[in-house]
A and B are shown apart, each in its own frame.
Chain A
Amino acid sequence: MSKQKLLEINNLKQHFEISRGNVVKAVDGISFDVYKGETFGLVGESGCGKSTTGRTIIRLYNATDGNIIYDGVDVHDKKSKKDLKMFNQKMQMIFQDPYASLNPRMKVSDIIAEGIDIHGLASSKEERMDRVIELLETVGLNKEHANRYPHEFSGGQRQRIGIARALAVKPEFIIADEPISALDVSIQAQVINLLKKLQKEKKLTYLFIAHDLSMVKYISDRIGVMYQGKIVELAESDELYSNPIHPYTKSLLSAIPLPDPEHERTRKRIIYDPSQHQYNNSEEASLREVKPGHFVYCSENEYKRYKAENQ
């Protein structure tokens, strides 16, 4: 592929010790790459480790094991403050809950300008304000909104303020952690289209975390399906939707409702039973390339079977 790797994740593990001897393996050895300018979607059920993956990538958590390489540099062994600041500027995050992600006691202008202040991106008060107004207009708000407090805005407006805050530091890579799941459907499209527009204009790369499969398909170039801390299938989004291989992906896709009564009447839910794999100790399950660009988490035996099925 001619595409340039922007983010490379190798065998990332994130374990939380709840109490002595009780470890939750939120993310358990995942690897994937994100290419420059693409949108990589990460889907899976609640609690499968999607958000934890995003937060570990942006260093909100310290990884238990594995490495995250951004633009050729390992993210987790950054040492100098200057490097850290550079990294914070390049990678930003959009959060899930628009009501919790804005400080209720700060004005919108101060919320958006927080990154500008931290990174010293404005030399004067006027420049700072100009930048805030510019960002507000980028996300479809206007300068009258700058002096208001978050509680005066609707969910969609707040989410756009959150996007403006992330954009303030001119990032290259944005982790969108379920940015639309707390919004109602009409607003979801508005926010998604805004994200798409920004991607085109500012050449952004997204890691898009969600559980709404149709939205993920709409925005993503490639999709990784997560299940219990592992990526079970990874492929281009059209390929994944038209030709799912892993039984969990099949089950997940069978759950998408369509606004078509004909189809709904015949739609059968496929229930995923993890015991069907019957992995032995001798055969190690891992992510294997069944088709070019289409990876499935499987054992050697399964790999042969999948390969035969997908010729």
Chain B
Amino acid sequence: MNFKGRMATALSVSILGLTAPIAADAQNVLRWTSQGDALTLDPMSQNEGPTNAMNGTIYESLVSRNPSLELVPELAESWEPGPDGWTFKLREGVKFHDGADFTAEDVVFSFERAMAESSDFKEQAKNVASVEVIDDHTVKLVTDGPNPILANQLTSIMMVDKGWAEANDIVTPQNYAADEETYAVRNANGTGPFMVESRAPEELTVLVANPDWWGKDEFPGNLDRIEYRPISNAATRVAALLSGEVDFVLDPPLQDLERLRAADGLKVETVAQIRSIFFGMDQGIDTLRSSNLEENPFKDQKVREAFNLAIDREAIKRVAMEGLSFPTAMITPPGVMGNTPELDEPYGYDVERAKSLMEEAGYADGFSVQLDCPNDRYINDEAICQAAVSMLARIGVDVQLDAIPKAQHFPKIQNRTSDFYMLGWGVPTLDSHYVFSYLLAKDGSWNATGYDNERVNEITQLITTETDLEKRAALIDEAWQIVREEMPYLPLHHQVIAWAMSEDFDIPIAADDALRPRYVVKK
């Protein structure tokens, strides 16, 4: 075909393409936006919120969570814990989008793929030592010893078709150092309710309903088509919703919520997020790096308590968070096993008491320290830190604020080079073990506080194998009591998320900030 001919074909194709949306008007279409696109369609290559949410619409896991974050069966119909592993009964008659059957073989393959060197889900997958096939629709996930919360740890491990992966040379997820794009980055073949119709990364991703999906009659959702276009600028996102170009914004800025509530035909939903914001204080090191003192005042529990009492969390909520936060004394939010109202009760705000504690500790004149803070990671993170600086000044502590992009902030925590830092923590397993093992255990990879309590370390180990759930809950509670007492962290609040949407839709908000299209109803 000559050039003119090619152009004519391209034009006619595109004109056909232009007419398609008109036909789609008759269907239930959800057009939505948020800040960032999924990074890849490979379900094991990037463990990142938006990516997991997108892939969770196309692919499915054995066990999943509904919008209230309760465990629900997905590709497994039922499961049975045992001393050396859990047995899962797989759903029968499930097909991948390309028509292949979903069987026990695919489960084995998917776990192997998730455990691969290049997988970003190794940490979750390593809870499973191996997968035994019992029959075509029964598998046993073998564990090293008893694991009481295995089901919680499986919700982000998606099932991939073995045959499809082998045919397309994507048996393992893409390697970091690879020099070629793999097939799975832009192509997907799951068992989920939606299939990829087209994908232009960072521009537009169109998903269409899977007509053969097993759950069609079991879920309330009635969408035929989802059009997702990321918009990185917050004001533009809000404008797109106000102008009716999109039906749903996942992450409207807090300061615009009132305006969106007031707009005709729009509504805003809020829920406490599974993410807590807190400051860490390095009490392990002998001399603080950024202080005028020769010693480390954070080693003294009185100083940590004074810091906790000097922070007016209600004021932060009012001034920095537009009223949308839950002040707390815990570094993990309600919804996570281990959080109780008693433990979550904030320490209270008492500057006089804080001052006398500082005096008792021998720091009546205060000291100086640097606060490391991200400025592009959590809701109004920099504003929170600024507020904290002036509050700590009241007890004589001279805090220098260093608010920098997350790409520079997190390495400071990773490399243990910060004295005093802001961190937020979400809990995908909804179990305290996730918090203990990363933030409180001595060797936790995000524990930059140097906190090392023998009993807490021990409990972190014990609850991995304690199958008596009552005993386990008591252990978790004991550890949290110790933490509340010793205050290795300075908890601020649990974040609140807000979703803004057209009144034509029922979109159940979820505390993990993930859209679950199978529950979305167009009225």
Do A and B share a complex? no
- B-side residues, CB < 8 A to A, are none
